[in-house]
Chains A and B, each alone.
Chain A
Amino acid sequence: MDAPAPEGSAGPSPSITYGPPIAMLAEVTHRCPLSCPYCSNPLELTKRDGELPTEIWVDVFRQAAELGVLQMHLSGGEPASRRDLEELISACREYDLYSNLITSGIGLTEKRLAALKERGLDHVQLSLQGVDAEMADLIGGYKGGYSRKMDVAGWTTALDLPLTLNAVVHEKNIDRLPDMIDLAVTMGARRLEVATVQFHGWADRNRAALMPTREQAKLCGQRVAEARERLKGALVIDYVPADHHADYPKPCMGGWGSTGLNVVPDGRVMPCHAAHTIPHLVFENVKDTPLADIWWKSSAFNAYRGFDWMPEPCRSCDRKARDFGGCRCQAMAMAGDAAATDPVCIKSPLHAQMQASAQADAESDGELTYRIMPK
């Protein structure tokens, strides 16, 4: 979006054309009953006593709405682990934010879900770890999780709340995609997100166990295309392909600091999930700094905005307005420099090495390392 800064706010200089954020991810807690080995949370998890209290979250939601955020994604960890989830949903409605509950389903009851709807909840996004209890409970590390999830899906549609299923696919479950699609239809989901695991944080520790093969990734893409055509008007499918097997990078976050922001449980604000893996970035905290100042002025949000930060071959690449240079965290992890060309790109000197390493991980297997909370 190229919308100008709202009047009276600390706007960008006239030469910069990014606008206010459309979406905010509120990671209200890192607590979660599940321990998925590909969790996008950082390795160093925030404990309960480090979480922002209700009143600060409510004020952040107000600031977000004033800044231009339209959609508030409540996530975690498991947002239902917070006893004040009801109040947080009420705050979204009060500030006319579209509220999206991103949940494993654990911690919800039929009564609680109905109460959340009453308070203005707009949408439920339910995670799916597998298409049967055996796989789902193995990946989630939580016995009985699958069964509860099926209950939550039923309550959601019975309450006439829109339901999206979110399936992270990887080596161990990607071949079951047709069953996931059937399940989404059977459960009455309107949308299915098929997201190939992103290898940051906990997932990075599980590369050998979770990296799909090139052939698996290709088949998955074909199956998504076929299902989209067949289910047009019945089920919408969003797809995040396996970029390790691609020739060009994904348009990560639609461009750094361009459309969304992520507030983590202790109040720090980041341009994406994995930005904390870039060691030189300093993240400001909503406890100290107004959200608008963080968005428009902070060094972390301005670090990779636009195109000026780009090295060659990115700077003169005709794809730069399409993929915005790909993923900075992936560049950090593989090239040791967050400003380097994303190694997924065929123009990166590390491309061949990255693909060979992905293929080696795909062909090997490993024990799952589960996400664990500090004591």
Chain B
Amino acid sequence: MTEAECPRLLSGCRTKYDTVRGNWVLLAPERAIKLDEIGAAILAETDGERSLGGILDALVAKYNAPREQIAGDVVKFLTSLRDRRMLEVT
């Protein structure tokens, strides 16, 4: 995944705040994945229009953390969703 590429959740995959359990979840075919704070923050920036670079810029500004560290977490997380057919990269 390069910084110019654009990750996008596939159809039928969406996030929602689970008011009963008090956390964000990613809902997808036959799966409900509990999101931690980092996962929820990444998907909040993954709007289908922003490139990976743009997502990293937003998260760096928001969390005031080193870009390389954030990039590692983000790419790992998004790749795991791509492998599970919940996300595509164009």
Please give the residue numbers on chain A whose beta carbons come within 8 Å of chain B beta carbons, in ascending order: 1, 3, 6, 19-20, 22-23, 66-68, 70-71, 96, 98, 100, 122-123, 125, 160-162, 164, 190-191, 193, 232-236, 238
Contact = CB atoms under 8 A, between A and B. Distances in A.
B35 to A, nearest CB: 12
Given A190-B85, A233-B83, A233-B85, A164 B21 contact: no
A299 to B, nearest CB: 24
A55 to B, nearest CB: 24
A191 B83 contact: no
A199 B21 CA distance: 35
A161 B25 contact: no
A98 B20 contact: no
B20 A20 contact: yes
Given A71-B27, A123-B29, A190-B85, A96 B16 contact: yes
B11 A162 contact: yes
A68 B20 contact: yes
B10 interface: yes
Interface of B: 10-14, 16, 18, 20-22, 25, 27-30, 32, 34, 82-85
A161 B82 contact: no
Contacts of B22: 3
Contact of B85 (A3, A23, A66, A236): A236
B26 to A, nearest CB: 10
B12 A161 contact: yes
A230 to B, nearest CB: 13
Nearest to B18: A70
B12 A162 contact: yes
Nearest to B79: A233
A6 B85 contact: no
A236 B21 contact: no
B83 A67 contact: no
Contacts of A190: 10, 29, 85
B21 A3 contact: yes
A286 B29 CA distance: 27
A232 B11 CA distance: 19
A235 B27 contact: no
A153 B27 CA distance: 22
Given A3-B21, A160-B11, A191-B30, 8 more contacts: A20-B20, A23-B32, A70-B16, A161-B12, A162-B10, A162-B29, A190-B10, A235-B85
Nearest to B12: A162
A3 B20 contact: yes
Contacts of B85: 190-191, 233-236
A222 B74 CA distance: 33
A20 B21 contact: yes
B30 A70 contact: no
A164 B82 CA distance: 16
Contacts of A162: 10-13, 28-29
Contacts of B21: 1, 3, 19-20, 68
Contact of B30 (A1, A100, A160): A100
Contacts of B11: 160-162
Contacts of A6: 20
B84 A98 contact: no
Give the residue among B12, B13, B27 with the most A Cβ atoms within 10 A: B12
A3 B19 CA distance: 11
Nearest to B82: A233
A67 B12 contact: no
A180 B11 CA distance: 24
Contacts of B34: 1
A280 B67 CA distance: 61
Pairs of residues from A and B, 6 with the lowest C-beta to C-beta distance, nearest first? A162-B12, A68-B20, A190-B85, A98-B27, A3-B21, A123-B29
Nearest to B19: A6
A100 B14 CA distance: 14
Contacts of A122: 12, 14, 27, 29
Nearest to B20: A68
Nearest to B31: A71
A22 B30 contact: no
B80 to A, nearest CB: 10
6 contacts: A3-B20, A162-B28, A162-B29, A164-B30, A193-B30, A235-B85
